[in-house]
Structure 1
Amino acid sequence: MSTEDDAKNKAIDDEAAALVAAVAPAAVAALIARYSEAEHVGIRSNWYELDPHSARRVPVAPAARAGYLAKLIDSNQAELQRDIARYNDLRARGLAALSRCDILISSGGRPLEALRCALDLKTAHISYHLSILVRLALELEDAHAAQARTIRPAPAAVPAPTAARAAVDMSAFRPGVRCEIVAASHPSASRDVGKRVIVDRANPEYGSVWAHDDKPVTYRTDRAGRRVVDHDPRCIQTIYGVDQLRVLP
């Protein structure tokens, strides 16, 4: 930097310092007294109308949305802390916390007005970030709830068939034999364990049988007054491996 530049900078600094010195300390104190401490700055009354996402694309999947919102909350928290630090510095140091640009350019050479504008700006920033954080916290809560609804607990372990089907005596599974289901072929069928079925026919080649629920045929009376079948369990049959069944005495 040249000597000429140094001289210009010194002249600017001197001009700003002279303007600051001309302000009565009592006027500065009175202005600062109008602004509460940072922890007393509240959220905006229209916080629910603020858009915390701007032009960002919000993920649709609950897990991805929760991660996105958590990062956005961290970012806004960091900005809030910076704004609070600047606000506290303005309240603590008054005109000394202002730059020469604040004094000479932004306020047109009115230091007290520059301080007021700076405090108003930081108050607005703090209330904005507090409001956005409320919105984001609610959205994150909803995302976690949606995520919980999509995560289903693992199905309970189902005992796997223990005997090889080829080794089972198929002669025991004659048509009409009653059996109890002792194992499920898939976790989703575990609710059928303990249910009783009746063998309709056997398939020795695959070690399996066709069976239906051990329930009686039910009847109803139709509009003509005739007695007709309402439900016949034999019409709904399921294939079971013989190692899933226990023949009942």
Structure 2
Amino acid sequence: MSRPKGARDGDYDDKRSVLLRRITARLMRRETARPSFRQLAEAADVSVPTLRHYFGDRPALMAAILETYLEAGRRGLEAVAEPTGNLETSIRDYCAALLTAMRAPREARLGDVFAVSIAEGLLDAEIGPSTLRYIVDPSVDVLRRRLDAHVARGEMIATDTRAAALFLISPLLLAILHQDHLGGRDTSPVDLPAAFDSICAAFLRAYAAPEQLRRGVAVGGSDRRGLGD
């Protein structure tokens, strides 16, 4: 009996997952500037029509790649929403964990995912929303929830915590991309742990509740922990 028109093969999802892994690996190597749909099909060892069968067009393919990455890292991402200790400890732990996560060796490093997805989103208006939905906004949202907990404890001023999350994460991401993905490590090296330490201190000075500041949080006292401690 022939398969009804429009019906999928029984192993459709498995084949699609294999294609996603192959194409993701190709993208994250960043071997050429923004590979075409045809080049991505070649990387997956399939024809262009086959790739269209599974994903439609290039923006839909990129959305599928980014969504798959988000779902694979969902558990670790959700853990970021939980504070670790008081405000200063929690913010410094977050910064240190982000630096480690962005550089951790994986099949697709988080730093590479941010670099590729932001570049793709900036260059293609159809991909931009997927970059926000699956990569940038989830990262901002879990940090916002972490900050909400500190506001509720009275450790942080009442504020727009989403804006505060962007205030913290933006320079951290830019510093990493500057060093690891734009050639800064060779042309204009930065001590990232020291830079992150300064960014954390600036955030705490801006957002710590007055009582926290009176106790010496982020004012450069001798008891301040660095990111490497």
TM-score, normalised to structure 2's length?
Answer: 0.26
Instruction: With a CA cutoff of 8 Å and minimum separation of 6, indicate the structure with the bigger relative contact order.
Output: 2
1 or 2, which has the higher helix percentage? Answer: 2
Structure label with greater radius of gyration: 1
TM-score w.r.t. the length of structure 1 is 0.25
Higher strand share: 1
